[in-house]
Structure 1
Amino acid sequence: MTGFREMADDDVDATVQLWRDCGLTRPWNDPYKDISFARDGGCSAILVCETGGRIAATVMVGHDGHRGMLYYVAVAPTFQRQGLGRSAVRAAEAWLGARGVWKVNLLVRAENAAVKGFYESLGYEVNPVLCMARKIQNP
């Protein structure tokens, strides 16, 4: 197992498959579009860890100039419970820290109690804020 590195073009299909295997994709979000958008921005990246020549873990990380965000934290089912999720989060935090970002936010689906517990074990806590959203339809 190696450390985390920025995603390469050859990693895209394997990364999407990992996200699907981990149940992270949704029909209304095109993972290929998400990857392209993250990789094209100067304020975001997708970090991957591979073992045995295959993508074992990922994290999408970015910032808006004020706060960092984590998305698509994924560990292949055969590699779960071995510390890769923790390593993915720490790699993303290091990526943000290197850019002067001092706080990170993330979103967890309300029904995902196991993942909430995972992040709590890493020192994350629920902030008493309301997250509002609106889809912008591009022409």
Structure 2
Amino acid sequence: MSVAPAPLAIAAIADADIEAVVALWQRCGLTRPWNDPHADIALARRRDNSTVLIGRDGGAIVATVMVGHDGHRGWVYYVAVDPDSRKRGHGRVIMAAAEDWLRQAGIAKLQLLVRRENTQAGAFYQSLGFAESTSVMFQKWLDGRGPTP
């Protein structure tokens, strides 16, 4: 008889969690030189239309998601599961928490971006019921930088 893993304890990020969360994002390869993760966390925490949710297994932060909305569509970023804790359902749990957070805000649609080469992430989101959009994303840096990969 197999024992189901204990559910993650989900909570909004606290000041004491920030360095551990940034370290997890770096370990998962989610950070990019043009995005300061500390600034991204601060921005997400600044208003009531976004947050960073963390999932703890025991005392350890093993999953995260940054979730927010523009009043019409929800978005998630920095979906991370500690590499040593994968294949235990933590990704599904943290995404369900993000969906619940958006539902409570009255948001009916969730969107996310996946790098084309990240086929593992694409397969994960498809397993959760996401479908590839027919929309094309355009981007422009408002500080004058050129396009980023």
TM-score by length of 2: 0.90
RMSD of the alignment, in Å? 1.1
Map of 2:118 onto structure 1: 112
Q: How many residues align?
A: 138
**Alpha-carbon separation, structure 2, partners of 1:63 and 1:24:** 20
One-letter code aligned to 2:30: L
1:22 to 21, 24, 28: 28
Q: CA deviation at 1:3?
A: 2.2
Q: 1:127 aligned to 2:133?
A: yes
List per-residue Cα deviations over 1:25-60 (Å, max 9, x = no partner).
Answer: 011110000000001121000000112322110000
Matches of 2:99 and 2:109 in 1, distance apart? 9
Q: Which residue of 2 aligns with 1:38?
A: 44
* Cα distance in structure 1, aligned partners of 2:84 and 2:58: 12
Residues 62-94 of structure 1 show CA distances to partners (whole Å, capped at 9, x for unaligned) of 000000000000000111110000111100000
Equivalence for 1:103: 109
The unaligned stretches of length 5 or more in structure 1 are none
- Structure label with greater radius of gyration: 2
State the identity as a percent: 47
Q: In structure 2, how many angstroms separate the alpha carbons of the residues matched to 1:87 and 1:16?
A: 20
Note if 1:7 corresponds to 2:47.
no
Cα distance in 2, alignment partners of residues 88 and 68 from structure 1: 15
- Any unmatched runs of 5+ in structure 2? 1-5, 145-149
Q: TM-score, normalised by structure 1?
A: 0.96
Distance 2:50 2:58 in 1: 26
* Corresponding position: 1:51 with 2:51: no
Q: Which amino acid aligns with 1:136?
A: L
